[in-house]
Homo-oligomer: A and B are copies of this chain.
Amino acid sequence: VKIEIKKPYLVFLGDVVGEPNAKTAFGLRDWCAGDCLAEWSLDGCTIELGLKRLSPREAAAAGAKSMVIGVAAVGGVLPDQWITELIEAMRCGLDLVSGLHDRLSDNEILRETARHLGRTLYDVRHPSGPFRVANGRKRPGKRLLTVGTDCALGKKYAALALTAALRAATAAVDFRATGQTGILISGSGVALDSVVADYVAGAAEDLSPANDPSHWDVIEGQGSLFHPAYAGVTLGLIHGSQPDALVLCHDPLRRHLNEFPDYGLPDLRIAIECYLQAARLTNPRAQFVGVCLNTSKLSDTERARIFERVEHDLSLPCFDPLKQGIERVVDNILAIR
């Protein structure tokens, strides 16, 4: 089920203009800098990551294994003017990795070139299976899942930060990616929202397989139980992940669901109740260990005030992975036996 990509990466920026279109590339630079050997772009590109600039040939000679398309072209399509460079990268020995909607493997020239040269094309948005129905049986190893009051408010970020903090605390830990950027960062994972519905919980089971009893899988959350379009994915991920620990992610400034103005955000206490109820179906010992608040737009005073209020209301430590507070959450996690 899981994609496994060879590192280190050459990050390809195409001819893209505008930072919002390069979110993936910046995510790679920020979260797996050690795996990003260099960057490469075409004429007209305005993005710079600040990495060494190497051509596919130079990057391959320096040890790169895969060229990752770190940008989104308009509509998620694969622009014709990139094809020559993608073929050149394969000729130099690199696999190709894409999070675009268009599949690399649907492009006949790329597919035939890859087959001929023995390269692999990774379309991380399109999981390929084989998939299976979940069995619901508890497996050894500890698991943490980030959940949220909405989409796009920091569940991946929280999971990456917790993985790093647990590792710093010398815990045995793996980040488990469930979306395309997470998969590129960690080099493996499964794009859960693209799995056939019947197999979502089964794919989530396979994503964090049985492990040592003291090992932690930190699993990137998806969607929200309170989202009219994506809650089903969230519930399947919860059930298959069987989390021992949950972290609630929330954006205190958000007034309604992202792109769904008719839908408000749930009260945090109700969110916690609903997530626990869902998680305890497959793991009766599931518990919350902290709350991740996106406070990037708040002053220090405002942050302190909201941390205090939420900690008082929920009796859980708050943190913002970019600012402060992760230590007490890590303590809570490591206290779980």
Contacting residue for A231 out of B196, B201, B230, CB 8 A: B201
Query: Which chain A residues (239-277) contact chain B, with CB distance < 8 Å?
Result: 239-240, 260, 262-263, 274, 277
Q: Mark A166-209, 1 if CB is under 8 A from B, else 0.
A: 00000000000000000000000000111111101110000000
User: Within 8 Å CB of A74, what residues of B?
Assistant: none
Residues of A within 8 A of B (CB): 133-137, 192-198, 200-202, 225-226, 228-237, 239-240, 260, 262-263, 274, 277-278, 281-282
Inter-chain contact A200/B232, CB cutoff 8 Å? yes
User: Within 8 Å CB of A231, what residues of B?
Assistant: 201, 235-236, 239, 278, 281
Take A136-B260, A195-B197, A197-B197 as given contacts and tell me if A232 and B229 are in contact as well, using a CB distance cutoff of 8 Å: no
Q: Which residue, A137, A225, A235, A277, has most C-beta atoms of chain B within 10 A?
A: A235
CA distance A196 to B281 in the complex (A): 23
A selection of 12 A-B contacts at a CB cut-off of 8 Å is A133-B230, A134-B228, A136-B260, A197-B197, A198-B230, A198-B233, A202-B229, A228-B239, A228-B281, A231-B239, A232-B232, A232-B237
CA distance A293 to B260 in the complex (A): 38
CA distance A235 to B231 in the complex (A): 7
User: Within 8 Å CB of A228, what residues of B?
Assistant: 134-136, 201, 239-240, 281-282
User: What would 4 more interface pairs be, CB under 8 Å, given A136-B260, A228-B240?
Assistant: A194-B196, A201-B231, A226-B281, A231-B236
User: Within 8 Å CB of A196, what residues of B?
Assistant: 193-197
Closest residue to A231 on the B side, CB-wise? B235
CA distance A29 to B231 in the complex (A): 37
CA distance A137 to B262 in the complex (A): 8
